[in-house]
C-alpha cells in the first residue's frame, strides 16, 4: 500500500466507511460507526455486553492528528508505525480487494455500460530459483471475451463510484464466479503452452540432490529412516517445481462498448 498523504488517506478511509469527519490541515474529528469503534477503540467487553443485552451501542468519537506537536490527552497522534494505523491499513487492504467502478462518461442520451470482471494475479514460480510475475486479466461478462494486461487498459480511462447520468449497467449473463473460473482456465492453458526451462532445471537439481542423499544413506547404514525421510522431504520442498497462483485484488468494471 503506497500512501503519499496520510491525512487525506485517513479522511477518505473514514468517509468511505460512513463516518462523519471534520478536519483541518492535520487534525480530524471522527464520529465512528459501530464497526470502526470495535476495530479501533479496544472495547470488546462493551460490545459483547451490549449485544448480549440486545441493545444498541453508542460508538465513540475519535480525535486524531498527523502532527505530533498537536497531540494531547484527547487527541491521539497517528502515523504509519502506530498500532491504530496498522489496524486501519489492514482493514483497508481487506476491504479494497474487491471494488465496483463505472467508466466516467459524458453523455446526454441513454447509454448502456457493460460489465467486466477484472482480476490482478500474482504468479509465483517456485523451485531451485524463484520468481514472481504480476498479471492482470479481464473477462466481458456478456460475451465472454478474455483479455490480458487488463490493468493497463483500465488505467487509460477515468472512473467514478456511481453510475454516470444517462447510463444504465447491463446485468451480467456470465456470473462473476463463472467468469473467474474461465479466467483460471485461461491462465492454466497459457501456462501449459509456455516453455518452462526453470522447472526443468529445478527438477534436475532435485534429482541430483536425492541421488546424493541416497548415496550418503547407502554408505551410512546407521542413518535413521526418519532422518532420511525428513531430509528427502526438505529437498523436495525446496526443489520440486511448482507454480502458485494468488489473487491480489479485482472488481467489476462497467464500460462503454
Same domain, yes or no, for 26 and 111?
no
Same domain, yes or no, for 114 and 29?
no
Is pLDDT at 35 greater than 60 in this prediction? yes
Same domain, yes or no, for 40 and 164?
no
Of the residues 96, 131, 153, the one at which a domain ends:
96
Print the domain residue range for 227.
Answer: 197-240
Same domain, yes or no, for 124 and 251?
yes
* Residue-wise pLDDT tens digits, 204-224: 999 999 999 999 888 888 888
Same domain, yes or no, for 117 and 187?
yes
Is pLDDT at 195 greater than 90 in this prediction? no
CATH number of the domain residue 11 falls in: 3.30.360
Same domain, yes or no, for 133 and 215?
no
Phi, psi (deg, nearest 5) at residue 90: -65, -40
Mean pLDDT over 178-202 rounds to 92
The CA distance from 118 to 136, in Å, is 7
Using alpha carbons, select from 76, 59, 73 the residue that is nearest to residue 19: 59
pLDDT at 77: 96
Work out whether strand 167-169 and strand 111-126 pair parallel, antiparallel, or are unpaired. Answer: parallel
Same domain, yes or no, for 203 and 130?
no
Of the residues 76, 96, 116, the one at which a domain ends:
96
Same domain, yes or no, for 115 and 191?
yes
Same domain, yes or no, for 250 and 143?
yes
- Count of beta carbons in the 10 Å neighbourhood of residue 81: 7
Answer yes or no: is 1 within a domain.
no
Same domain, yes or no, for 150 and 248?
yes
Same domain, yes or no, for 109 and 206?
no
Where residue 177 falls among pLDDT bands split at 50, 70, 90? very high
Averaged pLDDT score across all residues of the chain = 91
* Residue-wise pLDDT tens digits, 238-255: 999 999 998 888 999 999
Amino acid at each position: 500500500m503506497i500512501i503519499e498523504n496520510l491525512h487525506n488517506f485517513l479522511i477518505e478511509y473514514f468517509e468511505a466507511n460512513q463516518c462523519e469527519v471534520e478536519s483541518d490541515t492535520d487534525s480530524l474529528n471522527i464520529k465512528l460507526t459501530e464497526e470502526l469503534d470495535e476495530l479501533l477503540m479496544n472495547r470488546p467487553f462493551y460490545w459483547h455486553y451490549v449485544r448480549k443485552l440486545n441493545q444498541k451501542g453508542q460508538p465513540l468519537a475519535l480525535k486524531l492528528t498527523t502532527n505530533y506537536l498537536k497531540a494531547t490527552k484527547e487527541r491521539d497522534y497517528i502515523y504509519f508505525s502506530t498500532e491504530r494505523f496498522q489496524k486501519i491499513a489492514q482493514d483497508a487492504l481487506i476491504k479494497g480487494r474487491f471494488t465496483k467502478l463505472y467508466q466516467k462518461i459524458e453523455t446526454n442520451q441513454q447509454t448502456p455500460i457493460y460489465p467486466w470482471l477484472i482480476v490482478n494475479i500474482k504468479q509465483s514460480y517456485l523451485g531451485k530459483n524463484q520468481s514472481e510475475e504480476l498479471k492482470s486479466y479481464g473477462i466481458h461478462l456478456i460475451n465472454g471475451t478474455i483479455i490480458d494486461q487488463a490493468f493497463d487498459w483500465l488505467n487509460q480511462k477515468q472512473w467514478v463510484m456511481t453510475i454516470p447520468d444517462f447510463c444504465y449497467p447491463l446485468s451480467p449473463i456470465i456470473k462473476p464466479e463463472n467468469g473467474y473460473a474461465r479466467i483460471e482456465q485461461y491462465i492454466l492453458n497459457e501456462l501449459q503452452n509456455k516453455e518452462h526451462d526453470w522447472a526443468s532445471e529445478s527438477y534436475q537439481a532435485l534429482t541430483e540432490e536425492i541421488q546424493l542423499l541416497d548415496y550418503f544413506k547407502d554408505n551410512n547404514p546407521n542413518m535413521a529412516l526418519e532422518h532420511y525421510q525428513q531430509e528427502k522431504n526438505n529437498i523436495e520442498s525446496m526443489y520440486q517445481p511448482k507454480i502458485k497462483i494468488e489473487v491480489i485484488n479485482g472488481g467489476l468494471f462497467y464500460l462503454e462498448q
